[in-house]
Structure 1
């Protein structure tokens, strides 16, 4: 596309984000300078795009304060097909996803080299034996009983989560289960973390649920903000907050549970993201294991502990919400193939799953320790955070290089790194979120060398 049309594409993408609810009324828009650096485009391109948004009333300006999102409900009916763009949001914010990189710190990838494929193949054959004809039929909306049994047993042994298999519901993704929860909770009003795991905001916007975004610090969500509102559901990722990597401490976990127990309508949704992989210090128990009044809804997934394409997530419902689920009309059928559920259940029952987890915990720990050791000589230029657990951490450049300069250096070395502004547009520093899980040990050293060359002097 000709360069002269770039500002129109940017305008269309920003307008679409506003219309689809990715920004709330009154939200501060990124400054022209910050967005220019993030997207590696000229200030003129940003100015033209912002002027379009100003002219049509999508944003407004406050002197010496910046740009803010207008109340979308007050805007006239619009033609969403105007200036149809050939570029999607991801073309801007993913830095050309079709490009092949020599070095990449991708998120949500595992080290597939260590997966016990031969063992899993055995369970696949077992699932397709002649006597497994029942797997060809429709399954329970909650999922296969055998897998729910194994999940309940595993959660109790590994996370202290106490539940009956009947409380476990299996879905194909966290997003699908969040969508189910909004049907069960109906008119609930949410607190969500800021920045947060993107799908939660997307589901709430789509279903038109009210929510407040609450800041996160190094000990977890800032609970004192709860006093300013009267919402009744808190969605948190306490084990390894996404995207900051912060771990909620025990004191704040206890305070959050106390908040939930003060009203019968209050609940906590605990997304136990990355809980399987903690490398430093004593493991912190799940929120659900600390709860004595059935106020915690537990969600997790097999995407990291097994493999992303497995597409199995699960939630544990408190008993009174289970009763609401049971009477919910028009429940969606289970979307995870019965044979996949059977394979995973057998894999867990044999003990292979826990052995695999132990092995991968050591592999990822070795990778992380290597990375931290390689970056240590540059601690006066690079600040690492969120590296206690999980398969990603954040890296802030403190040597004066701008985000634009860092991205240009990375491009020169054919290195893919994700700016933190993708998840928090208000971030002003040159900060990145780096995933290391999918990088083979043999290729870790050259990855770190290129990273250091791109971000340091």
Structure 2
């Protein structure tokens, strides 16, 4: 279990069992960091979970305090069991952002390719060792990116990693003397990596058409992390006009870079997708990162990065990188999956399935447009749902728990977000289960 979940469970047990009383102040993040040897990011995540579930409340510039017991979301006989064991609360309905639809994945073909790899490539499986990843896979990714996203890259610029987080770590290490900018709200791994390495960064506010370019220009920071195709978590798409302005900003000074996370660009439903930011770059200032997690399945643990050629030497000089962390047999299977055309066919099928899902969701929400506003639904596998009636965030979460519904507040990603909003992931819900999920969601968030 992740460290922040351990801390969350521990604090929750103490609150439920009465070790903390109503309105008791919890230890500060700095105190816990010192006594438990945990990072402030870990502690902040644990407190966010407690806050989201109503166990604690916050006072500006003061800290976190224990809520009244009668308004806690868990007030049942099971409390004693929960205080002794880990929380076994399960939900009948979940709108998770990290899940994809695996019901239609071609597992038979994947198994066939797996057998082929082990039958024909045993020597390569034993001897292949490259920091950047399998040569054939990098070739296939370069071809795929050019055809699908317009990305200009040769195989020698591509680096395979086990996750987006790992690749961001590589970039941060390469550019560690630089000052960074991230979107606000931001993709959590980018922020977490910067804090892990104590890298200076500022948050750039988001507008309806993407990041605020005025704030970018006013900053004295020279590296910016963006999710232009489908911002996480708001779903905003960076307009072509702002993309060109952002590139122009990067060209105005040496050693300015844009890190583009194109994490779910394969899925755009109602409009023609904009090209990747990297495809518009004429001066090698964009570092392109993406993953197979959304297109295939998260447990594949395979991401990739296109690094400008002038930064490749810096990558190879990173001392702690000895070899690639993605198992070589999985790289070979993925190379075959791409080369055979099965990947493209799978993507085409999943675009149709996800479009069918989001179209149904939009249809179901339309009668409630005075109470619920949907945004960011044009692409990807999540959207933002804002509650415009008199329900508070705490009331929505309470009702959700009573309905065995798991939804994630926007507050999780943006502490300054004032509206009652939720980040709704729909990718992993089977279509034949979507109606009941929507029934419960609508019942929870409407008056």
TM-score by length of 1: 0.83
Which of 30, 39, 55 matches 1:20? 39
Report deviation, 1:13: 5.8
2:54 corresponds to: 40
CA offset digits 1:249-288 (Å, max 9, x no partner): 1000000000011112101000012101001212100000
Distance 1:138 1:289 in 2: 31
| 3-state SS, counterpart of residue 112 of structure 1 | coil
2:439 corresponds to: 449
Which of 346, 349, 367 matches 1:359? 349
Unpaired segments of 5 or more residues in structure 1? 24-28, 54-90
Distance 1:415 1:184, change over 3 A: same
Which of 370, 375, 380 matches 1:380? 370
Distance 1:131 1:303, change over 3 A: closer
Distance 1:270 1:352 in 2: 26
Which of 399, 403, 422 matches 1:409? 399
Distance 1:16 1:388 in 2: 42
Within 5 A, what are the aligned runs for 1:380-399? Answer: 380-399=370-389
Distance 1:184 1:404 in 2: 43
| Contact persistence 2:130–2:323 (CA under 8 A) | yes
Q: How many residues align?
A: 406
Distance 1:228 1:347, change over 3 A: same
Which of 203, 221, 235 matches 1:231? 221
Report deviation, 1:49: 11
1:3 corresponds to: 18
Report deviation, 1:228: 2.5
Which of 307, 311, 328 matches 1:317? 307
| Contact persistence 2:293–2:300 (CA under 8 A) | yes
| 3-state SS, counterpart of residue 383 of structure 1 | strand
Report deviation, 1:20: 3.4
1:149 corresponds to: 139
| Contact persistence 1:171–1:335 (CA under 8 A) | yes
| Contact persistence 1:155–1:161 (CA under 8 A) | yes
Report deviation, 1:21: 4.8
Which of 193, 209, 227 matches 2:199? 209
Report deviation, 1:366: 0.3
2:7 corresponds to: none
Unpaired segments of 5 or more residues in structure 2? 1-12, 66-81
Q: Does 1:279 align with 2:269?
A: yes
Which of 96, 99, 110 matches 1:109? 99
Distance 1:5 1:137, change over 3 A: farther
1:257 corresponds to: 247
Which of 326, 344, 349 matches 2:339? 349
| Contact persistence 1:419–1:433 (CA under 8 A) | yes
Report deviation, 1:98: 4.3
TM-score by length of 2: 0.85
CA offset digits 1:315-371 (Å, max 9, x no partner): 001111123223444433210000000001000000000000000011000000000
CA offset digits 1:281-307 (Å, max 9, x no partner): 121000000011111100000001011
Aligned-residue CA RMSD in angstroms?
2.7
